[in-house]
Chain A
Amino acid sequence: MFQLLKIFLVCCSLFIISGCWDSKDIEELAMEVGAALDKTNAPISSLDQGYRKKNIIKMTLQNISPKSSPQSDKGGQQQKYENVTGSGDSILEIFREISLKKDVPPYGAHLKILVIGEKLVKEKNLQILLALFDRTFEVRDSCIILIAKGSAAQTLKLATDVPAFTLVGIEKNRYRSVKMLPAIRLGKVMSNMADHANFIIQSTSTKKRKVKFNGGAIIKGNTNRLIGFLNEDEVAGLNFITGEIKGGIITGRDPKTHGLISYEISSVKSKIIPHLDGEHISFDVNIESEGRLNEEHVHAGNAFANKFLKRAEMAIKKEVEHLVHQSLNKLQKKYQIDVAGFNEQMRIQFPKEWLQLEKDWDKRFSQAPIKSHVSITIRDYMIKGKKEISD
């Protein structure tokens, strides 16, 4: 009997002492969907008296709180989100400070996007900046990282329903543009940095509450700091080298009539072939692409004519070669950094030699001659034109 009572008491204590403390109903959480980190020199506000801090980082959290939910019946243009700003010296400090200002705790599991201001990444080590997001179990590794030219906070103030979702949505449009880099997520960023690898992050610009994904931000390994940007065309060229293209168009000019030719990419395959001749490094980049002829301002009459197609292919090929050359030029000459994966191919093909090459790879890369071989095939001309019986 006494035994039974003991078991009963233990069971009762389970009810009282365990579990429930984690319980927090969903409406009592402020769901973060986006966050922006910026460098700031904001003066200590009057609210923060008696608080020793320098205010290096400003964080903006985009919260969807039920209080500003779409369900409310008030009508009109009510904001669905709420941006909360805090500044301080460390990220966790800012988070905790926000708790002094807001009634519901922020909840990070739904954090979709993290935008970091250009100035901050130039100054601070990205690995340190992101440490908190990486360490906490709340934030998912799938959170997308963007670098904002100018102010990151502005990116979360777009004139859309929920700016964070807009950014995620734009990221999904990669199948429609060659000028967008593959999304790089928190987990990938952290592993790259642990690898001391160079990498490139999609960058955005915001003007008058409108955003554009334009170019890429190059992060140098080891230091984990931003060293510069590639513009949109250079990003396209880089994408051709890496083969990371799902779709999009390339516009070229017909050499004969100088009319515009739009080529819609269906597929791109690329292969980087490294050559090592003693100390001398060189590369061949083979790019094969297939696609459709969607729009042309040439008025060739018959789009099925092989002669015209050959011309069109040549024009596109020239354009791609130009893009590739341009971006290689920027990477090799200006930044002297390899973000296109040449190092990886070298390591795979010449594993023994790589051990020596690895040390000052970026320098060696910047001096290596790179030849690109582009082949374009137009598979489909849509429904315009008629079948040519003889050439």
Chain B
Amino acid sequence: MKGSQKNSTNKGENTNKTEEKPQQAKSQHVTDDIHTNIEQIKQNIGHNTDVIFRSFQLGTTKLKAAIVYVDGLVDKDLIQDQILKSMIYDLSSIYSEEQLSDHDHLKDWVNNNVISVSDVKEEKSFDNVITSILTGSTALLIDNINTIFILGTTSYKTRSIEEPITESLVRGPREGFNESLADNRALLRRGLPDPALTMLEYEMGVRSKKKLLLVYMEGITNPDLLMIVKKRLEKFDLDLALESGYIEQFIQDDHFSLFPQVQSTERPDRVIAALTEGRVAILLDGTPFALIAPVTFSMMLQSPEDYYERWIPGSLIRLLRYFAAFITVFVPSIYVSFISFHQGLIPTKLAISIAATREGVPFPSLIEALLMETAIEVLREAGLRLPRPVGQTVGLVGGLVVGEAAVKAGIVSPIMVIIVAITAISSFAIPQYSAGIALRMLRFGAMICAGIWGLYGVILFFLLLAIHMCKLKSFGVPYISPAAPYRLRDWKDFIFRFPLLIMKKRPQMMRTLDDKRQKGNS
């Protein structure tokens, strides 16, 4: 990343102050002559038809000026009403010749008295000018002034704030992030109007030049964690950052682990909750998915709804998700090992009926299980990519018709269909899509182990998994904490969600600077 860390927009100020360091030694500087300047810009981006050059004269003077912008990225009304109009008409009524002759004075005067646009920057490097134009700003060039005004006129069509599709809740805010960083930032600010909420801006992608925000709570987030995140964000060099998934893959700890080590979410409330727990969030322009780091495995099985519901139903539903996660990974493998190794462990009458239903099935149970699980993964993928009405048909046809036909044809046993259906449904009960994928992949490993070694293999697989998860860390936080390392205080919000009343402190594993969540008498 050729990142330049800009300002920290705290204390509620909107305008950006430039603390720009000259970066590119090669880049040419703006000259006094407007024609040279325009030529310079034209050389770079002038061949594009969407780049508009508009020359005019300042008021009634002979002083030449021009604006350059990209059509479609700017707010044309703003340019016409607040820039062109004030430069051409309003200026003439109040200007004096001597003011115009003094170039420095003219610059300040234009800045202070003429342009009624809130976001104004002065730029001397052409590279930055061109970047700004391409991201929707308008460049204002005036003859005899050796800087170019960059006016924040960016305005493009964005999606309105809608309900997040991948993380819908029964109870909870219906707002989700959209593709506009400004909107997303505003959502966070609105949810947490606290001066401690700090947003650092980075630029991502040498070519895509996406804005990236590193959000944290000053005075809560541990500085060591912040340093790790900053270091990782600055370390890599990326051409293109289309989605926060790009960033996630560069900053994660273990590239070979199946488990997501950064949480992605569409929900502002989730991000805000994470921030107040001492985590950091990363927002990228152009994607509704914010990243939260560090994460633990238990977070993958949590939903914001756990906290919005009263604590007993919240806890039980969370417990249910742990069961669902277990079912997703282990039920097919346990079934396979029971059927082909440990028939004695099945209750007699069930064993008899299973044996009866498997009669005539030509494949060993492992092959049968792999076949069906693969089939359901294919169906899921197919249903996901198709337009919604067709997708549902695929699910229906696949699940019901093919399933029943396969049973009737004697290729698979009905019990296997039940097992596959249960695992598929359980995997959808996991609130994090990426965690669900991880567990679904692990299921295949477990099944193969079960097919080779039986229940012993399943246990071996479980041990391997446990070893891997114990080893895994997300930004310095152990992945399965608070189970290991054992931190009793954090168990209040682990498998069960205890009443908010007794969750008086922030998670211990985050080592926050400010421990107290409730200023109670504790």
For A138, list chain B residues within 8 Å (CB): 344
Say yes or no: A107 contacts B343, CB within 8 Å.
yes
A330–B389 CA distance with the chains assembled, in angstroms? 82
Q: Name the contact of B359 in the complex, choosing from A14, A67, A107, A140 (C-beta under 8 A).
A: A67
Is A103 at the interface (CB under 8 A from chain B)? no
Contact with A70, one of B344, B345, B356 (Cβ below 8 angstroms): B356
**Distance between Cα atoms of A109 and B136 in the complex (Å):** 76
By the criterion CB–CB under 8 Å, are B348 and A33 in contact? yes
Which B residues lie within 8 Å of A22 (CB)? 341, 454
- Chain A residue with minimal CB distance to B456? A19
For the complex, what is the distance from the CA of A302 to the CA of B313, rounded to whole Å? 55
Which listed residue, B357, B359, B451, touches A23 by the CB 8 Å rule?
A: B451
Residues of A within 8 A of B356 (CB): 27, 66, 69-71
B364 part of interface (Cβ distance < 8 Å): yes
Q: CA–CA, A107 to B351, complex, Å?
A: 12
CB-CB under 8 A from A70, the residues of chain B are 352-353, 356
B457 contacts the other chain (CB 8 A): yes
Q: Which of A1-53 contact B (CB under 8 A)?
A: 14-15, 18-20, 22-27, 29, 31, 33
Smallest CB separation, A342 vs chain B (Å): 38
Category for how many chain B residues contact A: 20 to 34
CB atoms of A27 and B341 under 8 A apart: no
Is the Cβ of A27 less than 8 Å from the Cβ of B358? yes
- Tell me which residues across on chain A come within 8 A of B348, comparing CB atoms: 31, 33, 110, 112
* CB of A74, distance to nearest CB on chain B (Å): 13
Q: Which residues of A contact B343 (CB under 8 A)?
A: 24, 26, 29, 31, 107, 109-110
Is B462 in the interface zone, CB < 8 Å from A? no
Main secondary structure, interface of B, reads: helix
Size bracket, chain A contacts: 20 to 34
Contact A66–B452 (Cβ < 8 Å): no
Query: Are A26 and B344 closer than 8 Å at their CB atoms?
Result: no
B344 touches A25 (CB 8 A): no
Q: Which of B339, B355, B359, B451 contacts A31 (CB 8 A)?
A: B355
**Chain A residue contacts of B452, Cβ below 8 A:** 14-15, 18-20
* Alpha-carbon gap, A109 to B352, bound state (A): 12
Report if B252 contacts A (CB, 8 A): no
Write the chain B residue with the least CB distance to A138: B344
From 311 to 347 in chain B, residues with beta carbon under 8 angstroms from any chain A beta carbon are: 339-341, 343-346
Q: List, in ascending order, chain A residues with CB within 8 A of B365's CB.
A: 25-26
Closest Cβ of chain A to B303, distance in Å, is 38
Interchain residue pairs with CB less than 8 A apart (29): A14-B452, A15-B452, A18-B453, A19-B457, A20-B451, A22-B341, A23-B451, A23-B454, A24-B340, A24-B341, A25-B358, A26-B351, A27-B355, A27-B358, A27-B361, A29-B355, A31-B352, A33-B348, A66-B356, A67-B359, A69-B356, A69-B359, A70-B353, A70-B356, A71-B357, A107-B343, A107-B344, A109-B343, A112-B348
- Measuring CB to CB, which residues of chain A are less than 8 angstroms from any residue of chain B? 14-15, 18-20, 22-27, 29, 31, 33, 64, 66-67, 69-71, 107, 109-110, 112, 138, 140
Interface residues of B, Cβ cutoff 8 Å to A: 339-341, 343-346, 348, 351-359, 361, 364-365, 451-454, 456-457
Nearest first, the 10 closest Cβ-Cβ pairs linking A and B are A109-B344, A69-B356, A66-B359, A71-B356, A19-B453, A27-B358, A23-B340, A66-B355, A110-B348, A19-B452
Having A22-B454, A69-B359, one finds 6 other A-B pairs with CB under 8 Å, namely A19-B457, A26-B340, A26-B355, A66-B358, A66-B359, A110-B351
